Structure formats: C-alpha cells, structure tokens
Amino acid sequence: MAPELEMANVKAVVSTVASVAATAMLVRTLANDFIPKEFRSYIFDSFHDIFRRFSSQFTILIHEFQGPSPNLVFEAVEVYLGTIVNSSTKSIRLGKTENDKNLVVTMDKDEEIIDVFENVKVTWRMECRRIESGSQNDEIRDMIAALSSELRCYELSFHKKHKEMVLKTYLPYIIERSKAAKEESRAIKLYSNIRNWGSDGMNLEHPMTFDTLAMDEEIKHALIDDLASFVKGKDYYNRIGKAWKRGYLLYGRPGTGKSSLIAAMANHLNYDIYDLDLTEVRSNSNLRSLLLGMSSRSILVIEDIDCSIKLENREKEDEKENKHNRVTLSGILNFLDGIWSCCGEERIIVVTTNHIDKLDAALLRPGRMDMHIHMSYCKLSAFKQLGFNYLRIQEHELFDQIGQLLEAVEVTPAEVAGELLKSKNPNISLQNLIEFLQNKIAENKMKVEMDLTLQNEKPEEEPKDTTNPESTLDSSVYLTAQRRS
C-alpha cells in the first residue's frame, strides 16, 4: 500500500473516532441538561440491563460493609490482592501500622488487577463512591463517615461459565490465602500475666532466628522438623482425639541459649509469646482463666519452673497444705493437658529449667513435655555459628584448636559470645578466646587438685561402736551420758 494511501486511512480512522467521541459527549451533555435525573437513571439502567443480557461476563460486587458491620470477604480480598499486584496495575496504596512487620500493599481506586486461577482469567476492579446524604440510613452513614468519606467496593468480573468455580473454589481460596498473608505480615506480640496478659501486648523485637541460633546442628534440625510436623498436624490431632498442642522442655545451665531458642521458635512460626510467671498466679482457677485468655497459634512459656514456685508431689497436696489456695502441681498438670487445655488450638508450651532432676516425673511425660531438649555447653558446631554471627567468618586456621579446647572444658555459648564481642578483628578475637579457654582449663585443673589435697588432709573419723545403741549419739553427748551413769 502506498504511503499516501496508508496515511489517508489513518486520518480517516482518527477522524471517525473523534467524531464518535464528540457525538457521545454531545449526547451526554444534552442528556444532563434536558433529561431529568430520574429519567436518566432509568434510561442508563435499561441500556445496562440490555448490555448485561447479551454479555458473556458475570460480575460479583463485594462491598466494604455488610449492613453496619465490616464485610470480612472484602477484608480478605484486600489482603489477597495486595499480594498479587502485577503489571496490569498502574498505582497502589502503601501503609503500615505498629502491628505490621512490613509495608502493606492495597489496591487503589479505579485500578484493575488481572488474576489467573486454575487457568481461568478474572479481573478485579476497585470502585469508590462518595457517600451522599440521604443515600443510606443515618446509623450506617455516620458509621462509614467516621472511617472514610468513600464507600469502597471490589468488582470481580469473569466469564459466566466459571461462576460455580469462582464461588466454590476461588473465593474460599482467597480467604485462606489472606489468613496466611495476615499472619506473615503481623508483628509478633509478647504478653505477660503480670498485667493479666493485657490487651495489646508488646511487639517482640528479638532478632534471633534458627539461622543465627548457636546450638547443636543435629538437635536444631530435629526441632525444626518437629515444629513443621506440628503446624501441619491439625487433621492428625483430630483423628487421634487430642488437643492440637505440643510441649517442649528446655533444660541446661544458664547461658546455654534457652531464651534465644524460644525467640527463634516464635520468629520461625510467627506465634505470639505468653510469658507465664507462676509467682504471680494466685490459684489454680486463676491459672485456668489465664489459659482461656490466650490466643491460638501462640507459645506459652514457663521459665525456670523449678525456681518459680514450690511444686509438691501430688500425694502431698491436700487441703491443709494448700490452705493459701496457691497454684499446685496438679493445677499445672491439668493446665497443660487437662480438659481446659482443649480450649484453643495450635499452641506450643515451653518449660525451661536449670535442674531437670528437681522436676516431678508426671510433668515430664509425653503429652505434657513431648520433646526434651538439652541445651548443652558450647561445642564446635555451635561455636562456628557464633563465629559467623560475630565475626562474619565461616572458616579459620584457629578453628581446630578452638574445637579441641571446647571438648576439654565446659563453657556456655553466652561465655564464648562474651569473648567474641571484645574485638571485631577475627585474629585478635579468636586468639583471646583461646587464651580464655586455656585459663578456664587451668582454673578447673587447679580446683580439682585443691579438692584432692583437702580430702587427703582431712582426719579420718574413728569407727563408731555399732554394738552399743548409744554409739549413734554425738561423741560429746555419749561421754556425758557415761559419766552420769
């Protein structure tokens, strides 16, 4: 085709489009000027009904409010669409509250997002309409006006042959996806029973994760696998008829990383933490009330359970010994796996102690404490993680020597971390650590030698006459009794 002819065709098309647009604007102006509002609405609605009757598209409207209450489906769609913003979107809204870990993305008004689900293309559009007086009853209008001057609505369009799939599969999928997205973006909260849990809690800002946690690698991976199995185990727990909960006992010396492990678990699962101080619990009934006040998907922590209160054996618990109505071992056990423990789901219970031998065997059995984790002294694998955290090194010529020293002495990860903090220079820091470990070994050796010396210097006691019943008395008492006789 000749260039002149092609240019003429383009000009003709542009002229036609401009003419149609001008005509449409003229008709719209005339309609607005000469046709009453009520008749305009009737005419436009009629044209809309005719168009919809012959259209293959089906549309679902999801308004922001369901009567006077927020529409939960609208909230779910809002969260979901924020996770699938694509190239079809020209603008978005960003926001963040103190309860959000990251920026929150939402769809802007009059924008469009195209989604594909099970090979079906759907189109989302956000519409905003100004709230006009007289358009709703006063209660709804005032409630909405307090939040926004606009009434928002999501418009979902797709081919009408997919109506059943969208209603029964796609929308339920959106609701589940939005729940997961909310949990991922939500800031982790820390609650304390000193304030009876409180209403808001505090944001947990602890940075510890399993990637940075210094502990035995084999135990760490076993714990991560166990947590993954627990999170996916709702159907399993329902099948076996048990509450959906898991108990972990962390035991070991102070400084071995028990609190850091709890923070890593919370960050890994995105669970809130409820820190239970048993010394602040007045009674067993108060303990039950605290349990009912916990949310699902949370971690209950009872630290240093052997030190917080005196838990007698159940055989010793009677009304006289518990006259002050304090919390008892039976109350703790019922709290952990009694009938009240079923009020809530997806909960983890973590109990810590420095002395596992002081705990009643009933507290340690599976079903209450399902996994016992020994937080041991620092060995080479844990040290390498500390070396990477503090010095950003994964290998060094001094690592072998440090590993040998760690096998010969008992030091906690906290002690090793304290030495690594003294210098950012890897050579200086590691050399200081070697010196610290050597001094620790020398101190332990000197202590053993002193104990042996004192034991050898201690005079041997004369054997007591077991044939005389009075020989069991202290020697001074026995001699006095002899003189009196």
CATH number at residue 196: 3.40.50.300
* Strand 298-302 to 272-275 pairing: parallel
Q: Is 473 helix (H, G, I), strand (E, B) or coil?
A: coil
Task: Say if 4 falls within a structural domain.
Answer: no
Per-residue pLDDT at 312 exceeds 60: no
Residues 207 and 225 in one domain: yes
pLDDT: which is higher, 202 or 428: 428
- For residue 315 the two structure tokens come to 């055989």
The 10s digit of each residue's pLDDT in 130-156 is: 665 555 555 555 554 444 557 889 999
What pLDDT score was predicted for residue 145?
47
Q: Assess whether pLDDT exceeds 70 at residue 339.
A: yes
Nearest one of 213, 339, 333 to 284, comparing CA atoms: 333
**Is residue 417, in this structure, part of any structural domain at all?**
yes
| Res 236 pLDDT > 80 | yes
Residue 385 has a pLDDT of 95
Inter-residue contact 334 to 283 (CB < 8 Å): no
Residue 344 counted as domain residue: yes
Residue 478: inside a domain: no
Q: What is the pLDDT of residue 430?
A: 97
> In the predicted model, what is the mean pLDDT of the chain?
80
Weakest mean pLDDT among 21-30, 227-236, 363-372: 21-30
Mark whether 199 and 343 lie in a shared domain.
yes
CA dihedral 383, 384, 385, 389 (to 10 degrees): 100
Quick one: pLDDT at residue 370?
94
SS3 39: helix
Quick one: 370 and 225 in the same domain?
A: yes
345: enclosing H helix or E strand: none
Containing domain of residue 407, as a range? 381-445
Q: What global pTM score does this model have?
A: 0.67
**Least confident residue range of 210-219, 254-263, 307-316:** 307-316
Residues 63 and 117 in one domain: yes
Per DSSP, 476 falls in state H
Asked which of 205-219, 371-385, 443-457 is least confident by mean pLDDT, the reply is 443-457
- Residue with more model confidence, 282 or 482: 282
Least confident of 338-352, 359-373, 469-483: 469-483
In DSSP notation, 138-176 reads HHHHHHHHHH-SEEEEEEEEEEGGGHHHIIIIIHHHHHH
Which residue has better confidence, 164 or 21? 164
Contacts of 191 (CB under 8 A, 6+ apart): 197, 198, 201, 202, 272, 273, 274, 275
Task: Indicate whether 31 belongs to any domain.
Answer: no
Domain end point (choices 430, 445, 460)? 445
Q: Return the DSSP state at 458.
A: S
Q: For residues 262 and 303, state if they share a domain.
A: yes
For 413-440, the pLDDT digits (tens) are 999 999 999 999 999 999 999 999 999 9
Give the ranges where 293-372 is alpha helix by DSSP (H). 305-308, 329-337, 361-364
Of residues 34 and 212, the one with the higher pLDDT is 212
Q: Which residue has the higher pLDDT, 479 or 111?
A: 111
Residue 459 lies in a domain: no
SS3 for 464?
Answer: coil
Can you tell me the distance from the alpha carbon of 336 to that of 226, in angstroms, rounded to the nearest whole number?
Answer: 19
Tens digit of each residue's pLDDT (9 = 90 or more) over 254-263: 999 999 999 9
Determine the average pLDDT of the residues in 270-274: 94
pLDDT at 449 over 90: no
> Is 110 a residue whose pLDDT tops 70?
yes
Question: Which pair of tokens denotes residue 75?
Answer: 């909230």
Higher pLDDT, 51 or 94: 94
Mean pLDDT computed over 25-37: 59
Looking at the fold, whether 220 and 356 belong to one and the same domain comes out as yes
**According to DSSP H, which parts of 338-425 are helical?**
361-364, 380-391, 399-408, 413-420
Same-domain pairing of 270 and 403: no
Element of type H or E holding 44: helix 37-54
Q: Which of 39-48, 267-276, 453-462 shows the lowest per-residue confidence on average (mean pLDDT)?
A: 39-48
- pLDDT for residue 320: 47
The contacts of residue 112 (CB under 8 Å, 6+ apart) are 88, 89, 123, 124, 125
Question: pLDDT (tens digit, 9 = 90+) per residue, 177-194?
Answer: 998 888 777 889 999 988
- The answer to whether position 110 is within a domain reads yes
The whole-angstrom separation of Cα 118 and Cα 270 is 30
Work out how many domains the chain is built from and give that number.
3
Q: Output the CA–CA distances (angstroms, integers) from residue 332 to 291, 362, 460, in the order listed.
A: 11, 10, 48
Q: How high is the pLDDT of residue 418? A: 95
Q: Which residue, 411, 426, 445, sits at the end of a domain?
A: 445
The verdict on 175 and 207 lying in the same domain is: no
Q: Is there a single domain that holds both residue 370 and residue 386? A: no
Q: Is residue 398 part of a domain?
A: yes
Pairing outcome for strands 112-117 and 189-192: unpaired
What are the tens digits of pLDDT across the range 48-85? 566 556 678 899 999 999 888 889 999 999 889 888 87
Q: Are 234 and 323 in contact (CB under 8 A)?
A: no
**106-110, 215-219, 311-315: least confidently modelled range:** 311-315
* pLDDT recorded at residue 266: 96
Find the mean pLDDT for residues 452-467. 65
Mean pLDDT (whole number) for 232-241: 92
Task: Evaluate the CA torsion angle 393, 398, 400, 403 in order and state its sign.
Answer: negative
In this structure, what DSSP letter does residue 100 have? B
Asked whether residue 173 falls in the same domain as residue 212, the answer is no
- 205 with 299, same domain: the answer is yes
Q: Which two tokens stand for residue 199?
A: 């209403």
Considering the domain architecture, whether residues 304 and 332 belong to the same structural domain is answered as yes
